[in-house]
């Protein structure tokens, strides 16, 4: 398998998501950045202690989202503090996702904090998402920006046919077609999801992407203890952001018991 994270991350990796609280200027913001960063670090430590192989820090509480250039500098600066706190708190690789379409922002945060990767939606092909029309594919500008700031070591993992989006305008393109396009455009890994946060990812979709590309394949939604064995038949890594929270609700704090249960299921023999 091609390396997609530092060598100490095994095949069949578990990647846990830390959802930073609502950031300054967003509708639900209510806490100082220092508090948000400290809580993110604590949740990351819970996941690392449970045995997760990597962490992604994401600003999902910033809903409703604005896209790309509309993201203010306060988001980048707050995420830099939160991601830096997580990097300092754990010894596993850390990734960054900034919603919506804050991919260059995420690369800059990763470079400043020493994070290892970013998660990028809309890497290839236009999408109609719940935050609006994502008319431009990210790949060309993003990878040029990565080169210009000297962040070539930061991996870019790309959602294909991203969740929370309509794909009517690309209905004639299969997941395999999108996987091939993303590989040609320079993705470092491919993320396959269900239709929305927490919704299961179809095993057949993961298998189709695995067969279409030589890149690492990650599952990006709906991972449960019952599903890990099946998904790991085709995927190199599973990203978990809902099931590991209290009551399986993404917006709740990380639950240590559920995090440990998921790791046990993933590491169970055969």
Separation between Cα atoms, residue 57 and residue 110, nearest integer Å: 11
In a domain, 20, yes or no: yes
The confidence band for 55, taking pLDDT boundaries of 50, 70 and 90, is very high
First to last CA, the chain: 20
- The size of the chain, in residues, is 270
CA atoms within 13 A on the CB side of 197: 15
In a domain, 7, yes or no: no
Domain assignment of residue 2, yes or no: no
Domain that holds residue 35: 13-267
pLDDT in tens, 103-161: 999 999 999 999 999 999 889 988 888 777 878 899 999 999 999 999 999 999 999 98
Which are the contacts of 73, defined by CB distance < 8 A and separation ≥ 6? none
Quote the CA–CA distance of 224 and 87 in Å, as a whole number: 26
The number of folded domains in the chain is 1
Task: Give 154: exposed, middle or buried? Use CB within 10 Å, 0-12, 13-18, 19+.
Answer: buried
The whole-number average pLDDT for the span 179-191 is 96
The answer to whether 258 and 248 are in contact (CB under 8 A) is yes
pLDDT of residue 3: 42
What is the structure's pLDDT at 143?
A: 98
In 3D space, the residue among 257, 258, 262, 261 whose CA is nearest the CA of residue 231 turns out to be 262
CATH number of the domain enclosing 205 = 3.20.20.70
Q: In what side-by-side order are the strands of the sheet with 165-166?
A: 132-134, 127-129, 165-166
Over the stretch 228-237, which tens digit does the pLDDT of each residue have? 999 999 999 9
| 114 φψ region: left (φ > 0), alpha (ψ -120 to 50), beta (else) | left
With bands split at pLDDT 50, 70 and 90, how would you rate the model's confidence at 8? very low
Q: What is the pLDDT of residue 268?
A: 86
Structure letter (DSSP) for residue 254: B
pLDDT recorded at residue 6: 46
Domain-embedded: residue 5: no
Q: Which residue has the tokens 């009551």?
A: 247
Q: Is residue 156 a part of any domain in this protein?
A: yes
pLDDT in tens, 60-76: 999 999 988 899 999 99
Looking at the whole model, is its pTM more than 0.85? yes
Rounded to an integer, what distance in angstroms lies between the CA atom of residue 213 and that of residue 179? 6
């Amino acid at each position: 398998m091609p390396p997609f994270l530092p060598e100490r991350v095994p095949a069949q990796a578990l990647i846990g998501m830390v959802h930073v609280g609502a950031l300054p200027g967003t509708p639900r913001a209510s806490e100082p950045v220092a508090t948000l960063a400290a809580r993110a670090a604590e949740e990351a430590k819970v996941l690392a202690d449970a045995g997760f192989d990597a962490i992604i820090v994401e600003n999902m509480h910033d809903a409703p989202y604005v896209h790309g250039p509309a993201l203010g500098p306060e988001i980048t600066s707050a995420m830099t503090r939160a991601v830096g706190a997580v990097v300092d708190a754990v010894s596993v690789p850390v990734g960054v996702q900034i919603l919506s379409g804050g991919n260059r922002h995420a690369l800059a945060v990763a470079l400043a904090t020493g994070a290892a990767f970013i998660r990028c939606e809309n890497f290839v092909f236009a999408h109609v998402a719940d935050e609006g029309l994502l008319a431009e594919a990210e790949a060309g500008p993003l990878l040029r920006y990565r080169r210009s700031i000297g962040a070539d070591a930061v991996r870019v993992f790309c959602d294909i046919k991203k969740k929370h989006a309509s794909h009517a305008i690309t209905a004639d393109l299969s997941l395999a077609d999108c996987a091939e396009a993303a590989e040609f455009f320079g993705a470092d890994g491919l993320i396959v999801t269900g239709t929305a946060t927490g919704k299961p990812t179809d095993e057949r979709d993961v298998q189709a992407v695995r067969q279409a590309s030589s890149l690492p394949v990650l599952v990006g939604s709906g991972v449960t203890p019952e599903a890990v064995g099946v998904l790991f038949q085709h995927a190199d890594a599973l990203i978990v952001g809902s099931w590991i929270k209290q009551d399986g609700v993404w917006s709740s704090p990380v639950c240590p018991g559920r995090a440990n249960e998921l790791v046990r299921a993933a590491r169970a023999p055969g």
